[in-house]
With several copies, the nearest count.
Chain A
Amino acid sequence: MSGKVKENMPDYKKDKKRVDGRKMDELRPLSIKVGVIPNADGSAYLEWGQNKVYAAVYGPREALPKHTQNPLKANIKVTYRMTTFSVPERKQPRPNRRDMEISKVLGEALDKAVFTEQFPNTEISVFVEVIDSNAGSRVACLTAASCALADAGIPMKDMVAATGVGKAFGELVVDLDKAEEDAPDAVDIPFGILPNTKEIVLLQMDGLLKKSEWAEIAKLGYAACEKIYEIQKKALTDKYQLSEVSQNQIVDKSTPKKVEKDSVKTKKESKEKAKKVKK
């Protein structure tokens, strides 16, 4: 971003490895745990390199105020926020314009993943909170939010798997960290897909890119998202080892929704008592 010329600038073509030792197509360590917030209908905690984020899902619940209700579908409303201490220089507590834009694009990405038409007039509230960060917090949040939605037993077409892809210090790379985002030639592309259909549901770009480089970057992005997807599925399996409910629910569109919901519901019966919106 800043374009500062530094002494000893890395040269990835020459170095053959990245500042933190990774290969060009290598992700930072990623771990996900679902069901971490007991109050939520679904939740996940994700650590991805230095990034640490929580995701919680509440709903489907009645959309309020009334005029926001859509008789054809549920609204997916994402609220992306960062703690004051999640960035090198203290963030002001009130949400800024970046928070708002990211909330919007994450909601638009998840909307394609959920069978929203099954819950007219409701809102599915997704809250994601970044408690530590180092480039890539929005894709970390999107990846975590997908798991939280699945954990909530909400019928989904697929989960969204997302990562940063782009360019730094002369090479095309996946999952840029802060040092790479600050490279003079940095290109950062938040990239998210539905792995089953390969549909792109998140796509933004900062930086200056040759058209010819895009094709290669997209390839890197798809491959990285597949790896992320495996970790997402494992996180869900780790919680629900005894059945494959979550898996079925996600990949099998033909399963009647009623059954899916019930099978998940058995896991959260005590919660259900307190829930407000019922089909």
Chain B
Amino acid sequence: MRTTVLEYDLSKIVELARQGKRLDGRGLEEARDFTLELGMCKNAESSARIRLGETEVIAGIKMGVDKPYPDNPDEGAISCGAELLALAHSEYEAGPPSLDEIEVARVVDRGIRESKAIDFKKLCITEGEACWIAFMDFYAINSSGNLFDAGSIAGLAAFLTAKIPKLDENNKIIKNEYQGKLELKRLPLLTTFVKIGGQIMVDPTYLEEKASEARFSVATTDDGLMSAMQKGPGSFTLEEVNKMIDLGFKIADERRKKLLKEIK
């Protein structure tokens, strides 16, 4: 990995944090605004492009037909993948999945899966024979920090807009024909925090991530539940965790409102 981060910037960020300030002028509890585009990838069953500050992520869903797992013959499945494209940052490299890619994919996946938003039984086509697998993959296009939240918003938008293809009598997908949409019972969203200079701040930029002592994400739903937590590097006090959970609910609510308005 080639390092291009300036030590100067990092120490400046720490210094500012101690004063309760941030390099881009945001408040500590202020997330960056985001914009959303939907459906630009016609080959996908759904697609979403999000820009969270300068961070840009594209998510898409492909629906595939497969045999159910023998343990759950009456259930389909979802799968979430992430790629931190070398396109998106000079420090990224093409190659096998990095630990960072695996972690962000799995945390976004858990936020959705564990919320039980999607009823896997409704993804069953024929018990023991055929089921749907919803493959959601998201890609970093420009990486300016907090791919967790960007991936989570893009992923949720993709699941919310995914169409289910029609099948012929042999359970083969008929191209460009659809029978309906995925249903979500609740709407989980991740909110991510870092600690810098002892201060908790939400939605870190790339440099803030570099400068941070600790990182934490929490997935919260519209019906007041938590569906995933993930501490990254560093440590937190219980009070800090509690504060981040509270803020997580608040920020996810705002983001969800905006998201739903875009999707209608």
Whether the Cβ atoms of B231 and A39 lie closer than 8 Å is no
CB 8 Å contact bits of A268-279 with B (1 = contact, 0 = none): 000001111000
CB 8 Å contact bits of B1-14 with A (1 = contact, 0 = none): 11011100000000
- Chain A residues lying within 8 Å of B264, measured Cβ to Cβ, are none
- Chain A residues lying within 8 Å of B241, measured Cβ to Cβ, are 200, 203, 218
Interface size, A (range)? 35 or more
Query: Chain B nearest CB: distance from A56 CB in Å?
Result: 4
Of B5, B103, B141, chain A has the most CB atoms within 10 Å of the CB of B141
CB 8 Å contact bits of B67-104 with A (1 = contact, 0 = none): 00001100000000101011111100010110100110
Whether the Cβ atoms of A129 and B85 lie closer than 8 Å is yes
Whether the Cβ atoms of A93 and B228 lie closer than 8 Å is no
Which residue of chain A is the closest to B238 with respect to CB atoms? A218
In the complex, B230 has a CB within 8 A of chain A: yes
Query: Chain B nearest CB: distance from A192 CB in Å?
Result: 9
- Chain A residues lying within 8 Å of B209, measured Cβ to Cβ, are none
- Residue A85 contacts which of B61, B97, B227 (CB distance < 8 angstroms)? B61
A224 to B235, CA, bound (A): 19
Whether the Cβ atoms of A84 and B102 lie closer than 8 Å is no
Whether the Cβ atoms of A84 and B135 lie closer than 8 Å is yes
Of A86, A103, A273, chain B has the most CB atoms within 10 Å of the CB of A86
In the complex, B204 has a CB within 8 A of chain A: no
- Chain A residues lying within 8 Å of B116, measured Cβ to Cβ, are 3, 208
Whether the Cβ atoms of A93 and B81 lie closer than 8 Å is yes
Q: Contacts A85-B60, A90-B64, A205-B229; is A198 near B237 (CB within 8 Å)?
A: yes
Q: Contacts A83-B60, A131-B41; is A108 near B233 (CB within 8 Å)?
A: yes
Whether the Cβ atoms of B233 and A111 lie closer than 8 Å is yes
- Chain B residues lying within 8 Å of A252, measured Cβ to Cβ, are none
In the complex, B212 has a CB within 8 A of chain A: no
- Chain A residues lying within 8 Å of B62, measured Cβ to Cβ, are 84-85, 89-90
Which residues does B use to contact A, with CB under 8 Å? 1-2, 4-6, 40-45, 47, 54, 56, 58, 60-62, 64, 71-72, 81, 83, 85-90, 94, 96-97, 99, 102-103, 105-106, 110, 114-116, 120, 135, 137, 139, 141-144, 175, 216, 221, 224-238, 241-242, 245-246, 249
- The 10 A-B pairs with the shortest beta carbon distances in the complex, nearest first, are A85-B60, A85-B44, A205-B229, A90-B62, A199-B235, A203-B231, A127-B87, A132-B41, A274-B4, A56-B87
Pairs A–B under 8 Å by Cβ, sample size 17: A43-B87, A83-B137, A84-B81, A86-B44, A87-B43, A88-B175, A95-B94, A97-B97, A104-B102, A125-B86, A129-B85, A131-B47, A200-B241, A208-B225, A210-B224, A211-B245, A214-B226
